[in-house]
Structure 1
Amino acid sequence: MKGVLLPLMMIATPVAAQTERLSVVANGEIVGTVVATTTGNRVSVDYRVDDNGRGPKHREEIELGAGAMPVGWTIAGSSLMGGPVSEQYRWAAGRATWKSQADSGAVASAAPGLYIVNDDSPWALGVYARAALVKGGAVTTLPGGRLAVTKLRSMKVGATAVDVYRLEGPQLAPDYLMLDAQRRLFATFSATGVTIRSGQEREAPALMTLGAELEGERVRAISRAVAHRYDVPVRIRNVRVFDPASGTLSAPAIVVVMRDRITQVLSAADDKGAAPADQLVIDGEGGTLMPGLADMHSHTSLGGGLFYLAAGVTTTRDMGNANGFLLDLLPRLDSGEIAGPHVVADGFIEGRSLFSARNGIISDTLDDALRAVRWYADRGYREIKIYNSFNPDWVKPVAAEAHRLGLGVTGHVPAFSSPDRVIGDGYDTIAHINQLMLGWLLEPTDDTRTPLRLTGMARAADLDLSSPRVQRTVTAMQQRHVSLDTTAVILERLMLSRAGTVGAGDKDYLAHMPIGYQRHRQRTFVPLKDAGEDARYVAAFAKLLEVVKMLDDRGIRLLPGTDDGTGFTVQREVELYVEAGIAPARALRLATLGAAEYLGEGALRGSVAQGKFADLVLVAGDPTRDIAAIKRPRMVMHDGAIYYPAEIYQRLGIAPFAAPPKATAPATTTGGTDAPAGTHGFAADGRDHFD
């Protein structure tokens, strides 16, 4: 009707869209973005990361219901290594349904629950936190589990007032985030990386420091609770000792430890009468006492040491880290303030390119690289590690400088180089079996700074190990005593991961883990075009295991490594050696004494012998007959402390795998810092009493 004004309430007012931008910062450089546009109750999120030639790239569509609870969530794009991402969640009419790479399901639900996304972005943490805060700080999650968010402090970052939260439950480690006064996401952060509101990138270093402080507080509290220390001898009875040098188990024996050293290794016949009243006595119940395992390719984190110790890993070689973070952490590990294994540090050196890994030191010139070598030498690093974007022409002079200063040389094969060339230029060790094998599979113009360093492995299905190309490299490794840090487990995880299935490497532990971690492991990490390509990856991994066995047969030193931090993958790496055809006792030697010898520490670690450090693991059964026995440690000793993995796992939200052994407290002590022996901090109902 012309000339007639409609009532104001009848005029539809469009809702203005609000866009929020965040930057993903690693090692001081922006490597990704999060762009979120909110229109009413709908949010569109574009998430892109380009770091080290890889990174997730996907788009999320979120629909929010009452109480900031998502009622719809879809994600589409690609994951870290280019695998496809397609995920949907919907709550409607009292029913929640979801479908992801990992699983699909539906449940009746009178109100929407909090769905934990399988392929999420930093933005999701803000969604989770807001929904939990509306519920009082904790909420049951879908497909399972529970999420809790705890306010830790209020502060200002620049001119912005924020509240700092810890979010726990879905994953192995907590997340830390900041919400502003309107509960909008300001940042997510850790000790090694930050996602922060665009324009505030200069605050990233301070947030990393805060991340280390907050996570350090949590880890220190757990470390104090699970480390049992005594100022009296610890007498471990009724065990058989594994000797990695001979590959055999002893007759029943007794091992005595005083603080961090083995003082006696005795025959059971020497254990006459009652045990001394002034010693802690542990009954091994006929199990095997073995030296602690080593992970020869790790990246140390604040909380990772707890996982390593619980898995029986007492030594790691750090293959690249944020240098300031690692140098601050190492003395804390040495003092026992933070629980974790003995760490040997390698210094990471990368070249500048669009594909650079943001880690260690990035060198723009050869002089920069040489200065980096000297920097690491001055700080006591054992080796340097060269990475993908490093100029191949720099390897020889940099290796010469490292050797002059007493450092070893290891690393990836730089893009457009070859294993043969880096061996000739001075490498002592090649990192990752795929970095070795790609030299037999790719053309000189292929760019291994991209995900091709994984996807190119499918070509190994047809590899002839007797070919001159292969044998020339193996002969060079023999002649120059070049080792291989295998990380076969991470290749298995990437090449054989399949949506909706539990991989062979995960089946023995995955059901014990938090729901978010369980789902993440049940997905495809590589793009698979068809069934033929799927079969090629399977055949290629079988060929990879053949290479492991061939190299061991030819006398090439193998260093079991993982490129992971859970400890479970160390156990699987050793198991893969056995699947490759290496005898269990030989595989255990490589993961214990062999690793210690490579690190120059064979006189101190790697076997159970008088005078050596008491890096010990107690398992039930005989791992020289059944290698899977190493997956269920009952007790671990390291750095003068006794750890019971069951205690550690309960505090980390993981269902334990094996009960602690029986321990009898000494009648008198001269100090000590422990709960009563025999209880191990557990209540009678088997549940842990947290501090």
Structure 2
Amino acid sequence: MVRQLGLVLVASCIWGSASAQTVERFSILANNEKVGFVVATSNGRAIDIDYAVDNNGRGPKHKEHLVLNEGGIPVEWTIDGTSLMGGGVHEKMRWENGKAEWDAQADKGSVDAPAAKLYVANDPSPYSSGLYAAALLKAPGNTLDVLPAGNLRLEKIREVKVGDGANTATVDAYMLAGIDMVPEFLLLDKQGKLFAKLGGSLAVREGFEDSFKSLRSLGEQLSLEKLQLVQQKIAHKYDAPIRIRNVKIFDPKTKKTADAMSVVVFRGRITTIEPDAKATNPSDEVIVDGQGGTLVAGLHDMHSHNSLWSGPFYLAAGVTSVRDMGNDNTVLLDLMKRLDAGELPGPSIIPSGFLEGRSPYSARNGFIPESIAEGLRNVDWYGDRGYIQIKIYNSMNPDWVAPFATEAKRIGMRTVGHVPAFDNPDRVLADGYNEISHINQLMLGWLLAPEEDTRTPLRLTGMARAATLDLNSAKVRKTVDLFKKKNAGLDTTTVILERLMLSRAGTVQAGDQAYLDHAPIGYQRYRKRTFVPLKDAAEDAQYFKAFDKILATMALLHKEGIKLWPGTDDMTGFTLHRELELYVKAGIPAGEVLRMASFDADQYMVRDQQYGSVERGKRADFFLTVGDPSKDISAVRQIRMVMKDGVIYFPQEIYEALNIKSFATPPSVTEPVKSAAASQRDAASSAFTGTRTGFGEDDEHDLGD
């Protein structure tokens, strides 16, 4: 699933003789380092699973018990333990006598089912993917309706080989769709058993641990092939001028909209803006009827962690630029190259160079220098590749911050990041931070004792103490004044704090209500959970009071003139819409919020001469939405069309390709009337180049070549 990207799962099978017992042992790795395990013990049709992950100071830990029927469908399934951030997990499902019942974090229910139906668990281990695949292999068309709702589909891609020399295996690659926002890619052996999982987790049987890099590359290649097909289907490119009529245009200078305008785009640039009453409909132009909607310069997510699959989600949400705040260096640079070439759908990426310290809690991204000298070389490496800033993370030695920030400044880069464990906001600002990442990283400096360790889930649970924080206190005032003195900013990611602090089992959180029922069933259920451990009703209420104080902190910082940058720490685009709503909820006017997320962000990243507003001569990065988000920020959720570098995308088509119900219909588009000779030339060119327009069977067989 999208919530745990970049993990590898390694398994071995030990077959007993008389008892027919099998034991499958899995090592879970991130960036080729072990961060957890799964042990699955099978006795006949019963399976017991022990599962634990500890990565970046967090991870699920639970035990599962399953009983399968003769067809391999679970008829009993219990899961007990904790989820990602320590919230309790107590899930159970049972099918008996023609009735299926389940009780999980997300929901509880029962249905009449004469035959057992496949149940998609709320909190399973990665082992579940093999169970789903095994059931789908036996199903007509490799498709099954599932409980509590929706359906799963398994699609064979091609045969692949894993390993080297004598230690090789020939397996089949499959795509499993319908669980989460993005599909999972699996490798199954010739008996149909799980050999490797390349989707949200990478998995391989014991003895193939050294295949980590090749398996990760294979997963990326399979995703790449699928997304290249998506891009061919959803990217609408025209060499003729594109005239968008009858639209309002958001002006970030006035923070208001101008009515009834006409905008012309040609080869990626805005060439004409005029009152719609004066515009004509030339026969050689593409005409888009905006029907009174609003054009807004493309939004920014100022805190992203990009993947191949994040791109189409961002575009559908009107996000045309993102600031990546930490990634695998090789993967990110390759992704940026492909996006810039138009090979894949997605926003422009402004990269940040990730620097982490070595500890049992280390995040596995970027570089983990073992010395100041090595870290300085890492800073230079990022600078030589055009990174705009370095980002320092939780386990960094506080004494190393100043030299790294000094070197970054010397070569023209900013320094941003978390407040390292046992450090504090005042010191990192004094040491050279231009920006703190996450509002909780700022506020924890006012809430925790110096010896408390923020590399653990305390960086979330400690926020409950904000309920009684006095924003007029001397310690708050000192930090605010230091922000102003250093002209520093804050990358808020308030939406993630809302999600982690206020999500409760069985309920749809306010920030998810606008879109969640459009998503696949597994993602819907994942969002309806309690992330934080709760002792009682009083502690529950304390988190809600604490979140109100977070919004009050945003209001204080904004009033003091401190730059706030909307970011999500997520990849769906939906969360950026909620982040903007939270800015308005904190008391910032919608027009000002819209400017922050567009023009101000581009100005901060020295791109405003080309981006950030709908003006003649600028790059054509903008979106068309129903209503006026400068008056009602939630109008950003109803996007009808997005233009990225002059290429048109319709969110409806993007969501259909991603198995998500759309939110708004595209505007009407009238293409130029071609002469007979021109039509014949285009047809001949299309036939010669083999242009694809959809996802027919031939396209899918091409993936297996």
TM-score by structure 2 length? Answer: 0.92
| In 2, Cα distance between equivalents of 1:81 and 1:251 | 47
Post-superposition offset of 1:186: 1.9
1:589 paired with 2:598, answer: no
Moved over 4 A (4+): 669-674, 687-691
2:524 counterpart of 1:507: no
- Matching of residue 247 in structure 1 with residue 255 in structure 2: yes
CA contact (8 A) 1:27 1:193 kept: no
> 1:205 aligned to 2:209?
no
In the alignment, the residues of structure 1 paired with residue 178 and residue 488 of structure 2 have an alpha-carbon distance, to the nearest angstrom, of 43
Deviation at residue 195 of structure 1 after TM alignment: 2.7
Match of 2:186 among 177, 181, 184: 177
Tell me the amino acid that sits aligned with residue 330 of structure 2. Answer: G
* Residue in 2 that maps onto 1:418: 424
Residue of structure 2 equivalent to 1:226: 234
CA distance in 2, matches of 1:514, 1:251: 38
Counterpart position of 1:152 = 157
Q: Structure 2: which 5+ runs fail to align?
A: 1-16, 684-692, 700-705
Partner of 1:167: 176
What's the CA shift string for 1:569-598, capped at 9, x where partnerless?
111101100001000001101100111111
Count of paired positions: 665
Q: Any conservation in 2 of the 1:438–1:457 contact (CA below 8 Å)? A: yes
Which of the numbers 438, 443, 464 marks the counterpart of 2:444? Answer: 438
Secondary structure, counterpart of 1:587 in structure 2? helix
Tell me the residue number matched to 1:275.
281
Matched, 1:534 2:543: no
Structure 1 residue 336 corresponds to structure 2 residue 345? no
Distance 1:290 1:411 in 2: 29
Aligned to 2:619: 613
2:29 pairs, out of 20, 25, 28, with: 25
Counterparts in 2 of 1:621-640, with a 5 A limit? 621-640=627-646
Displacement, 1:197?
2.0
Displacement of 1:160 in angstroms is: 2.4
1:388 corresponds in structure 2 to 394
Cα distance change on mapping 1:325 and 1:673 into 2, 3 Å: farther
Identity %: 53
1:56-67 matches, within 5 Å, as 56-67=60-71
320, 323, 327: which one aligns with 1:321 = 327
| Residues 320-357 of structure 1: CA deviation (Å, up to 9, x unaligned) | 11111111111100011001001100011101000000
Per-residue CA distance 1:91-114 (angstroms, 9 max, x = gap):
111111101010011111111111
Of 54, 60, 65, which residue of structure 1 is paired with 2:58?
A: 54
User: Retained in 2: the 8 A contact 1:292–1:315?
Assistant: yes
User: How far apart in 2 are the matches of 1:106 and 1:491?
Assistant: 33
Contact between 2:249 and 2:258, CA under 8 Å: does it hold in 1? Answer: yes
The reply to whether residue 215 of structure 1 matches residue 233 of structure 2 is: no
Structure 1 residue 614: deviation in Å?
0.7
- In structure 1, list runs of 5 or more residues that go unmatched: 1-12, 675-682
**2-side partners of 1:506 and 1:666: how far apart?**
41
Q: What is residue 95 of structure 1 aligned with on the other side? A: 99
Q: Please, which of 111, 115, 122 is the counterpart of residue 119 of structure 2? A: 115
8 Å Cα contact 2:126-2:201 kept in structure 1: no
Matched, 1:83 2:77: no
Residue in structure 1 matched with residue 669 of structure 2 by the alignment:
663
Task: For 1:253, give the aligned amino acid.
Answer: M
Q: CA shift at 1:268, angstroms?
A: 2.1
* TM-superposed deviation, 1:193: 5.4
**Alignment-mate amino acid for residue 346 of structure 2:** G
SS at 2:71 equivalent: helix
| Alpha-carbon contact 1:647-1:688 (below 8 Å) kept | no
The answer to whether 1:141 aligns with 2:146 is: yes
Distance 1:384 1:440 in 2: 25
Please tell me the residue identity of whatever aligns with 2:150. G
Indicate the SS of the match to 2:554: helix
Greater Cα offset, 81-90 or 372-381: 372-381
CA pair 574-255 structure 1, distance change in 2 beyond 3 A:
same
8 Å CA contact retained: 1:605, 1:615: yes
Q: Quick one: distance in 2 between partners of 1:488 and 1:407?
A: 25
Contact persistence 1:277–1:668 (CA under 8 A): no
* 1:369 to 2:378 alignment: no
Deviation at 1:270, TM superposition (A): 2.6
Greater shift in the superposed pair: 261-270 or 461-470: 261-270
Write the deviation string for residues 349-384 of structure 1: whole angstroms up to 9, x where unpaired.
101000000111112222221121111111111111
SS in 2 for 1:177: strand
Please report how far the alpha carbon of residue 673 of structure 1 lies from its aligned counterpart in structure 2 after TM superposition. Answer: 9.0
Query: Does 2:453 match 1:447?
Result: yes
User: 8 Å contact 1:26–1:194 — kept in the other structure?
Assistant: no
Whether contact under 8 Å (1:291, 1:592) holds in the other structure is yes
What is the aligned partner in structure 2 of residue 74 from structure 1? 78
Q: How far 1:144 moved relative to its partner?
A: 0.7
Maintained 8 Å contact 2:656/2:662: yes
| CA–CA separation in structure 2 for the residues paired with 1:65 and 1:87 | 19
SS of the residue corresponding to residue 292 of structure 2 reads strand
RMSD: 1.8
The CA deviation string for residues 629-666 of structure 1, in whole angstroms up to 9 with x for no partner, is 11010000002210110111111111110011111111
Shift of 1:153: 1.9
- 1:27-53 per-residue CA deviation (whole Å, 9 max, x = no partner) reads 121112111111111111111111100
